[in-house]
Amino acid sequence: MMEGSQAFQSCHFAVPSPCGTYIASLTQQNLYVQYAISLSPAFTFPLDEPSQPTIVAENQSLQWSPQSTFLMLVSTQGVHAYSLQDSSVNIHVSNGSGSLGKIYAAEVLSDSGREQLMVVWEFGSVNLWDLSTGRATEIGDLKMGGKTSPWALRRQKGRPEVLVLLMRRDAQDLLSFYLPPSLVPFRSITLPTVDAQAISWSICGRWLVVLDSPLNSQPVLVFTPDGFLFRQYPSLPTPPSTPGGEGAPSPGFKSASWSSDHLVLSSASELTLLSSRAFSPSEPLPLSSIHTSQRSLEDSIVAYQETINAAGQRSYDTLTGQLIPLPNAKTSIIDVRANPTGSYISCRDEGNDTAVYIISTGPQQVHSLLILHSSIRRAIWHPTRPNLLLVLTEARTLHIWDVTSTQPPIHIPHSFETLSAQEKGRVEARQASNSSGPKAVPPPPSTAYEAASPSPAAPRRCRKETRVRIVCMISSLDGRRCLR
């Protein structure tokens, strides 16, 4: 049974810390940090100029450093960084005249006990501030406008942090590799790409993938951490369709994401899994394989379809075999996410925004399907319980689904589902796992799971006595409220 906490006022969505110990929220006067379990206050940071509306500026976000030692308030006009280890540390970076464009993002880099603040502007400029000396170094030509952020950070326990920047100079794509806090790249390479779209590190930290435009016959490039090209996929360029003619177009991958064991490539209607050891491909897995010639395999796929009756009561119908709807072949697979162990992959069909597909990686086949009554905004795997999926819809409903169970998802009711027309707003839900907090503040005992959204949500007893927390917040005409 879901229990609600008191409501907390906030003017921005709450954000859990990476360690799962804290929740940060914002008001016009203060930046608050609460313990995730008890919701008791941990830190309070007064804003420098609360009377100025620029403090709560457009495109504002709260961001944590990876070690949960710094909390950043980032907007298009400036960056405020607050230290949880030393409350006297208050770092402010102003956008000034705005000649570099609006501030796009900020990151805290940390290695060897030295921390740097990285600020990225929309016109491709990057500044790196040494937080111990206050000195800044500017780097230009960052490639903006791609599918994802044009930088990637390797944060792997026991290994040095590596920052990679995707740059564009003289109509060519380049990669620059840095070892923070060094401001000089230890390697810069020119890419054999047409128009690189995205870069990302593998979960193990051994590989960096670059996804190129479909115009390239080998659109997937895999590099080692020291910047050497290891593989291209497909391994051989597509041969010309006619003698002397142009090569056939590449598969046209829309995204490249990592699981613990695979590089997952998504195209218009299928997934391709490459082993993260040798990057040998498997047979492409189309979502239409829900319907197969093997009756036993077809009947093993279970789909749950949510229905709501006239009284507003929710139930789930079970669909099997030929009753399961096929995805639209003319649309794309989106929102591809692997669970922590890499045993399952969730994805959605762009042409059916109410469905989420679950793919099993061993054997590689469609495992199950969830069809909800409302459009799905996001489906997120639990960080420590690999079978648990949290689904958030555009109608502000929350569902928790154990994809390995024989039971349908659990709908989590909350007060923000039944708002009046005058209180329309957006709900956010996030998940975090509790590991360890900053050394200066020992974390409170317990908690295995937590989800967070703009303000707190309520503990819930789950199977095996595992505590589940969901922090939800909705924006309304009179501000934002929290439910826990």
pLDDT value at residue 4: 61
Q: Token pair of 364, please?
A: 């590689």
Average pLDDT of the residues of the chain = 78
Q: Is the pLDDT assigned to residue 47 strictly greater than 60?
A: yes
Task: Check residue 97 and give its pLDDT.
Answer: 67
Measured CA to CA in angstroms, residue 94 lies from 74, 77, 119, 183, 372 at distances of 10, 6, 11, 22, 44
Spatial distance between the Cα atoms of 325 and 320, rounded to a whole number of angstroms: 10
Q: Which positions ≥6 away from 418 have C-beta within 8 Å?
A: none
* Reported confidence tier of residue 458, pLDDT bands at 50, 70, 90: very low
Q: What confidence tens digit (pLDDT) does each residue in 69-124 have?
A: 889 888 888 888 888 888 777 788 888 767 788 888 888 887 656 788 999 998 88
Q: Is 194 helix (H, G, I), strand (E, B) or coil?
A: coil
Other C-beta atoms lying within 10 Å of the C-beta of residue 307: 12
Burial of 146: CB neighbours in 10 Å, binned 0-12, 13-18, 19+: middle
Q: pLDDT tens-digit profile of 348-396?
A: 988 889 999 999 988 888 889 999 999 999 999 988 889 999 999 988 8
Q: Hey, how many other C-beta atoms are within 10 angstroms of the C-beta on 466?
A: 15
Closest CA to 323 of 302, 309, 308: 302
Domain extents in the chain: 9-239+250-483
Virtual torsion, Cα 424, 425, 431, 434, nearest 10 deg: -100
- DSSP 3-state percent helix, strand, coil across the chain (nearest 5): 5, 45, 50
Q: How many other CB atoms are there within 10 angstroms of residue 394's CB atom?
A: 15
For residue 164, the model assigns a pLDDT of 95
Percentage of residues in the chain having pLDDT higher than 70: 76
Q: Which residues pair with 181 in a beta bridge?
A: none
pLDDT band of 404, cuts 50, 70, 90: very high
Counting every residue written for the chain, the total comes to 484
- Choice between 402 and 291, residue whose per-residue pLDDT is larger: 402
pTM of the model: 0.81
Q: CATH number of 9-239+250-483: 3.40.50.300, 1.10.3720.10, 3.90.110.10, 2.130.10.10?
A: 2.130.10.10
For 409-444, the pLDDT digits (tens) are: 999 887 777 665 555 567 777 765 555 444 444 333
pLDDT > 70? residue 286: yes
Q: How far is CA 15 from CA 156, 204, 210, 470, in A?
A: 22, 25, 29, 12
Using 50, 70 and 90 to split pLDDT, how confident is the model at 290? low
More confident residue, 71 or 4: 71
Please give the C-alpha separations between residue 235 and each of 189, 219, 224, 241, 438, in angstroms, as whole numbers: 20, 10, 17, 18, 45
pLDDT of residue 384: 81
